[in-house]
Amino acid sequence: MIRVGLLGCGNVAEVIASEGTGINITALYDFEHSHAEHLKELTGAPAFKKFEDFLSQDLDIVVEAASVGAVYEHAEDVLMSGKDIVILSVGALADTDFKNRLIKIAEEKNRKIRIPSGAVMGLDNLKIGQISPMSKVLLRTTKSPRSLRIETNEKTLVFSGRADECIKQYPKNINVAVALELATGHDVEVELWADPDIKRNMHEIFAEGDFGDFYLKIKNNPCPQNPATSYLAALSIITLLKNLEKPMIIGT
Ligand SMILES: NC(=O)c1ccc[n+]([C@@H]2O[C@H](COP(=O)([O-])OP(=O)(O)OC[C@H]3O[C@@H](n4cnc5c(N)ncnc54)[C@H](O)[C@@H]3O)[C@@H](O)[C@H]2O)c1
């Protein structure tokens, strides 16, 4: 059974720990040690105070559900130590030099970097953008002003432009745009809206190309413990982990 280490023990990790029946969580790390201790109670896995001790455990894969900063700090070491990594804070990979460095290490070490679908759907077949021309990929994300940490009483366009610029201003909110760029191999235009009337985070994806055109709208339910996090993001990691060892792979 694949041995999983959780790097980051917040909302997403808590859903993985509590709902990921059959997932073999064997080590926990969070720079807020109390968060790791909390998940220790749920999983029985040891919680480490030092990242080095966490990483020296017998793990097959480390699941990052922490922050863009955690990816910068730890992803290279994870791969260097011969473990695969799941990166949920995919905004870190908007930095092309950093992304290429990780890919090089993964190749050298014969390891995989896995990017979950996170808070959206549709990444599977949008990968055709890597082999067939696309003329447009647009992500329109709408969130409450509170989750964007701004104040407004009316629907407001807070950002319009390139994904890599958006992630610099809203590192916690637009991972999806970077995941879309990685999937399609195409620049993604981003519109980020704050809407005081919206109850759930909404992502709309528009794509056009030689294949035809595509539109997807997803309204995300929040995590039970914290409304800021999309439940779907946690479910997408559970699904990814559960499919790793299956003989039949669907929708890649
Ligand atoms: N790709 C997507 O679609 C998608 C969807 C949802 C969340 N996310 C990202 O996933 C990450 C986790 O989300 P969450 O809602 O569980 O966040 P959270 O804030 O609830 O939990 C993050 C945990 O990681 C810990 N942490 C942060 N930086 C760390 C570091 N450098 N080293 C060790 N621990 C660190 C925090 O103490 C916290 O316990 C966030 O970066 C979020 O932006 C991505």
Q: What is the pLDDT of residue 168?
A: 83
Average pLDDT of the residues of the chain? 95
Q: In this structure, is residue 249 part of a structural domain?
A: no
pLDDT for residue 113 is more than 90 = yes
Say yes or no: 136 and 96 in one domain: no
pLDDT digits (tens, 9 = 90+) for 21-51: 899 999 999 999 999 999 999 999 999 999 9
Catalytic residue among 35, 74, 186, 203: 203
Q: How far apart are CA 168 and CA 120, in angstroms?
A: 20
Please give the backbone phi and psi of residue 61, each rounded to the nearest 5 degrees, phi first.
-150, 140
Q: In this structure, is residue 95 part of a structural domain?
A: yes
Say yes or no: 20 and 47 in one domain: yes
> What is the span of the domain harbouring residue 183?
123-221
Q: In this structure, is residue 248 part of a structural domain?
A: no
The CATH number of whichever domain residue 27 belongs to comes to 3.40.50.720
Please indicate whether residue 20 or residue 140 has the higher confidence score (pLDDT).
140
Q: What is the pLDDT of residue 167?
A: 83
Contact 177, 167 (CB under 8 A): yes
Q: How far apart are CA 201 and CA 185, in angstroms?
A: 25
Q: In this structure, is residue 110 part of a structural domain?
A: yes
Q: What is the pLDDT of residue 225?
A: 77
Say yes or no: 83 and 148 in one domain: no
Cβ partners under 8 Å of residue 62, min gap 6: 4, 5, 6, 7, 55, 74, 78, 83, 84, 85, 86
The CATH number of whichever domain residue 184 belongs to comes to 3.30.360.10
Which atom from ligand 1 is nearest to the alpha carbon of 228? Answer: 15
Please choose from 7, 9, 30 the residue to mutate so as to test ligand 1's pocket, defined by most ligand atoms within 8 A of CB: 30
Structural domain count of the chain: 2
Q: In this structure, is residue 142 part of a structural domain?
A: yes
